[in-house]
Structure formats: structure tokens, C-alpha cells
Amino acid sequence: MTRPARAVITAVYQATFPKTPDWAEGPLPFEYGDVRAGADERSTYYPPRTARLLYGSTGRPRRWHKLLDLRTGGVEIQGMEAVCLREEPGAHGLVIVHLKTVDAHPLDVVRALARRRGTRLDGFDPRELVDEQAVLDAAVSYTLSFVTQRGRWFPRLYRHLRYARWSSADQWLWALASRTNVADHPPDPRQLPIPQNTGPSGFDFVRLSADWRGLVLRDGLSLVGCRPDEGPRDPFYNHAELYFHSIYLDAVLIGVLQLQGISDLEDALVSALDAPFASAMAELERRVTLFRHELWWQHLSTHGVPNQLLGAYQRQHRLRERFEQVLTEISDYNRLTRDDEKRYVNNALVLFTLVTVPAGLALALLQALGSHSPWMFGIVLAACLVFTAALLTTRTARVVLRSVRKRFR
């Protein structure tokens, strides 16, 4: 199969950090000519709130990088990055690996990163690359691919007549974003890759310009060039590769962090059912507030492309629907918790009344009789106990006792 002119791939792994990485602070700096995509330069592209999330602030970094120059399995490993929003041990975050194909075909690389059957990258193990700085939560990553062609058209991947209405560029977009070939998962030819067919079960196109376009699916993002690539002499595609490694990657990272945060909220909601009601409810509300403040927003920049990428990622993973469901379930859980608290208070008051009212009547009777005889005191006390026992045998008292006993258990 003809190899493209340019093929760069980024793999994003969800990870857990036992400690703060000792790599250099800030994102991996990419340069082309006099343009440098470091933390300071990217912060001018994004507003302060987004920049603080992606790159941290003075004295509180959230991103680290490690430059590499390794060749293995037909790819060149350019470097790694780490994103962690918390400083405590065991915090969740992301590990990013930047790759560039050398001898391997990009379709084979993304399929190997997806752990497709019969594919592998010899010598590539991200767990060894992190060097105990992080623990990868899964072996399969989310991938971003940028590919350009040497000639006017990409070679067709699906040659059957039923895919005749799919352009070669659309076929490459689908193959790179889904990380599949015909043997893994033949796409439905009736599901044409048109911009109107968007959503979790369809396609999410991103129209960047006349020179390149993208597709966002659940497992990957692909960008392809729409004209021949002139290589080092092509300033547009060289700048496009810089954007791919920096600001467009950052938009997707926010989406992955949102997915990670919503998944954590869903797990916390399940765990809350086994915890004390008051403390569990307070912790859930705190985590939701923190998630909304740090991660949950839809507008990243005044520039349109990052917002399109984030919106497409959210649709593919149903993040908005999942977050709304979490809020609904937390609201229902909060209501049930408050109702249970009120029920417990009312039952306690009823039980207190059943115990204290006979005692109050007995004291009032002794005062009215004005007798100081021990026998009279014993008779009144016995009558009080009998009356209290009789009240506790009623159906209302039995229900209250069961509820209070269950609460203490």
C-alpha cells in the first residue's frame, strides 16, 4: 500500500500518578520556523481558565513533558506528556505519546495502538516509557492522526462497488478514526460520511479549511490533507502539524478529562449507596461542584476549531447526557436522603413521646395525690411502666422501633 507523505499520530492514555512526575514542566514544545508552541504561546490562544487547566499556573504545574528520540516498530517516538490535575498520590490524569511513522504504515500503527487482531508495534510499550512516573489504566489509547498524501488523491481503501459513493479521503478519515480495516469492522456503506450524519452513531466532521478536514469518532480523531503535500517546503502543512500537536490536541485532552471526570462521578454515585447518607451526599455535591468549576464548559476559545473538536468528542461519548443523568440521580439520591432524615427525626420524636408522656402523667398524678408513701410511688411507677409497655406494643410503636433499629444498624 502506498505510504502517505506525512503521518503523525498521538496516543492518549488514561493513567494514575503515584507521585508528581519529575519531567520538565509544561507541554511538549513543538516548533516550526519562528513559531513555537510552548505553554506561553498556547496560553495566548486559550482564555486564562482553559490555560490554567491545561498548563497549570505559577508554582502549581499540571503538565509535564519528556523529550525522546527513539525509533521502534517502524515509528519515531518524539516525546511524552503527562497531565494531572491533583497533587495527591493516586490522582487520575493522562499520558500522551507523540509518534511519527518512519517505516510503518499509519493505518497499521493506529490498528496496533487499538490492539486489533494480528497487529503490534515491535518494541513499543508505553508502560516502559513512563518509567514508573505513572500507571496506565488501560492498554488501549485514544488516538489522533494527521495524514497527507503525495499525489492528488489518496488510494482507495474500500474497493467494493458498494463503497463507490465514499470518496478516498472519507475512507481514510473513517479508517484512521475508527482504527479498523475491512477485516476488523467493515463500515456500513449505507451510512454515508456526510456532514449531516452526526452524533454518537454517525460521523462528526470538522471542516477545517479547503486544505484539510477531520473526523471525530468514539475511539479516535483523524485529520487528512485535501491536496498534495510538498513536504518541508509546504508551510501550511508544517504549521498544520504544529497545530495538531498543540492546540488541537489540547481541545481533545479536555474532552478526555471530562470523560474521566464523569466516569469518576458515576463510580462515586454507586459507592455512595454503601456509605453514611450525610457524608456521602456532601462528598457527591462537593465533587460535582469541583467538576463543574474545573472541567465542565463548552466554550474553549474564540477560535472555532477547538470548540468543534470538543463538541464532537462530547457527542461521540454522550458526555452531556451522561452528566445530566448523574445530576438527576444525585438529585434523586439527595431527595431520598433528606426524606430518610426527616423520617428518622419524626420516628425519634414519636418514640420520645411514647416514653416520656406516661412518665409525665405519673409525675403529675403523684403531685396531685400529695402522698409521700413508697407504696403509692411504687404503684404509680408500675402503672407507668405498664402503660408505656402497652403503648410500645401498638402498631405505630412497632413501626417506629423497627425504623430506629434499622437506622442504627
pLDDT tens, 138-152?
Answer: 889 999 999 999 887
d(Cα 282, Cα 285) in Å, to the nearest integer? 5
Residue 371: the pLDDT is 64
Mean pLDDT of all residues belonging to the chain: 83
Q: Please report the pLDDT score of residue 199 as a whole number.
A: 44
pLDDT higher at 243 or 152 = 243
pLDDT, one tens digit per residue, over 59-79 is: 889 999 999 989 988 899 999
* Alpha carbon 337 to its chain's center: 27
Look-up: residue for cell 437506622? 407
Q: What is the DSSP letter of 163?
A: G
How far CA 217 is from CA of 201, 298, 313, in Å, comes to: 9, 18, 7
Q: How confident is the model at residue 31 (pLDDT cuts 50, 70, 90)?
A: confident
Averaged pLDDT, 230-234: 88
What confidence score (pLDDT) does residue 305 get?
87
**pLDDT, average across residues 215-224:** 94
Q: Report the percentage of the chain scoring pLDDT > 90.
A: 34
Measured distance CA(96)–CA(98) in Å, rounded: 7
Strand pairing of 142-149 and 220-228?
parallel
Kindly state the DSSP code that residue 138 receives in the 8-state scheme: -
What local confidence, expressed as pLDDT, does residue 201 receive? 45
256-275 in b/e form (b: 16+ CB < 10 A) is: bbbbbbbeebeebbeebeee
The kind and range of the H/E element at 32 are strand 30-32
CA 262 to chain centre: 5
Q: How confident is the model at residue 391 (pLDDT cuts 50, 70, 90)?
A: low
Closest to 241 in 3D by CA, of 26, 37, 12: 37
- Least confident window among 228-237, 323-332, 388-397: 388-397
- The residue type found at 173 is L
What is the model's pLDDT at position 98?
96
Please name the residues in contact with 260: beta carbons below 8 A apart, sequence gap of 6 or more: 14, 92, 94
The burial class, CB within 10 Å (0-12 / 13-18 / 19+), for 407 is middle
pLDDT for res 177: 94
Please report the pLDDT score of residue 277 as a whole number: 61
Residue 171 has pLDDT above 80, yes or no: yes
Rounded CA separation 192/161 (Å): 14
Any residues with CB less than 8 A from the CB of 90 and at least 6 apart, and which? 16, 17, 18
Burial of 184 (0-12, 13-18, 19+ CB in 10 A): middle
Taking alpha carbons only, the member of 310, 146, 175 closest to residue 244 is 146
Q: Label residue 47 by pLDDT band (50, 70, 90).
A: confident
For the question of whether the overall pTM of this predicted structure is more than 0.85, the answer is no
* Higher per-residue pLDDT: 132 or 279: 132
Mean pLDDT score, 110-135: 90
- Comparison of pLDDT for 393 and 155, the residue scoring more: 155
| Contact criterion met (CB below 8 Å) for 39 and 60 | no
Q: Are strands 30-32 and 142-149 parallel, antiparallel or unpaired?
A: unpaired
Buried b (16+ CB within 10 A) or exposed e, 27-53: bbbbebeeeebbbebbeebbeeebbeb
Residue 196 has pLDDT above 50, yes or no: no
pLDDT of residue 2: 65
> Three-class SS of residue 123?
coil
What is the spatial distance between Cα 108 and Cα 259, in angstroms, rounded to a whole number?
A: 27
C-alpha pair distances (Å), 277 with each of 66, 266, 291: 44, 17, 21
